[in-house]
Structure 1
């Protein structure tokens, strides 16, 4: 199971790379789980509002496919789950819910576009159980790195470069005025991941 935070879910749909992500992870859309509020955050019940939120009809269609196929993240409110006790202003309720959902589910991974939440998690002290989570945390740049490993570069590059409004760092990595070659894109994505590794005191694990 792969948990998607709302930021990653939105951006992957905007890039029209949802099925490529599933292929890179070796799963189906039914193996994703999203927060219950995603469909409301993306205004998916209203065509005009969803289009304004996501920026293209293709993105709206993919977001609706995702919500229809994915399960909803659920967390059993047990006192034995220490991650339910996270109370930090730099970890919002959605990310806290996703972190808590990882606890006790060793076959589950989390894809998040909120690197600040990962940095904040690295600063939590007195919770040894958090150490086991880092091998199952993936950022947006790593998700794109994985997609490049299993999809045609020109296709992925064209989709990302068609939406420079989605994410500035990703747009720079792929090239804003001219297409960057594969080697440059990969190095840029790895650079962002190394920066996250440094910001989390080496806890974020780079892809092998």
Structure 2
């Protein structure tokens, strides 16, 4: 199971790379799990407002497909008690829920919130948290997986068509002119290296 936080889910759908992500992770869309509030955050029941938030009909179609095929994140009270009370200002309730679900399900967490990773790296003495790092995937690494497992030009074209989605990713692929594959991989690897440094070496680069 791969748990997607709302930020990562939204961006992957805006790039229209949902199927490619599943393929890169060797899973199906049924293996994804999202927070229950995603459908409300993206106004999925109001196509006009959802289209405004997502920016294209293709992105709206991708979100609808994701919500149709994925499950909703659920956690037991025991896991909630362990991880929902993390005393860090940069960990919101959604990310805390996903950390708890990652622990409970044994799945992996794909998150676009680097601040949450950095925040939990500052918590020492937690055996539970220490075991989770190997199952965390930041958004930059997810994009790197896409580049390594699919046609670079196709991935680049989709990402460069939406420079509004993520500034750092847009820069990695080139804004005014496209970067080549090696340049893009170097930029993405650099971003991941910065996260490793910011988490005191705890983030595990696969």
Coarse TM-score class (shorter-chain normalised): over 0.9
Once residues 73 and 42 of structure 1 are traced to their aligned partners in structure 2, the CA distance between those partners, rounded to angstroms, is 17
1:55 is aligned to 55
1:156 is aligned to 155
User: Unaligned stretches of 5+ in structure 2?
Assistant: none
2:100 is aligned to 100
1:80 Cα offset (Å): 8.4
Q: In 2 relative to 1, CA 169–44 (structure 1 residues): closer, same or farther, beyond 3 Å?
A: same
The TM-score, its normalising length taken from structure 2, stands at: 0.97
Once residues 80 and 122 of structure 1 are traced to their aligned partners in structure 2, the CA distance between those partners, rounded to angstroms, is 19
The TM-score, its normalising length taken from structure 1, stands at: 0.96
Once residues 138 and 79 of structure 1 are traced to their aligned partners in structure 2, the CA distance between those partners, rounded to angstroms, is 21
1:170 is aligned to 169
Asked if structure 2 preserves the Cα contact closer than 8 Å seen for 1:173 and 1:185, the reply is yes
The number of aligned residues is 206
User: Unaligned stretches of 5+ in structure 1?
Assistant: none
Once residues 58 and 182 of structure 1 are traced to their aligned partners in structure 2, the CA distance between those partners, rounded to angstroms, is 25
Taking only aligned residues, the RMSD between alpha carbons, in angstroms, comes to 1.1
Verify: 1:12 aligned to 2:12, yes or no. yes
1:179 is aligned to 178
Once residues 36 and 104 of structure 1 are traced to their aligned partners in structure 2, the CA distance between those partners, rounded to angstroms, is 17
Asked if structure 1 preserves the Cα contact closer than 8 Å seen for 2:172 and 2:183, the reply is yes
SS at match of 1:138: strand
1:76 is aligned to 76
1:129 Cα offset (Å): 1.3
- The 5-angstrom pairing of residues 123-134 of structure 1 reads 123-134=122-133
Cα deviation per residue 1:48-79 (whole Å; 9 max; x = unaligned)?
10110000000000001000110000010117
1:142 is aligned to 141
Asked if structure 1 preserves the Cα contact closer than 8 Å seen for 2:12 and 2:18, the reply is yes
1:87 Cα offset (Å): 2.7
Cα deviation per residue 1:103-137 (whole Å; 9 max; x = unaligned)?
1333x000000000000010112312111100000
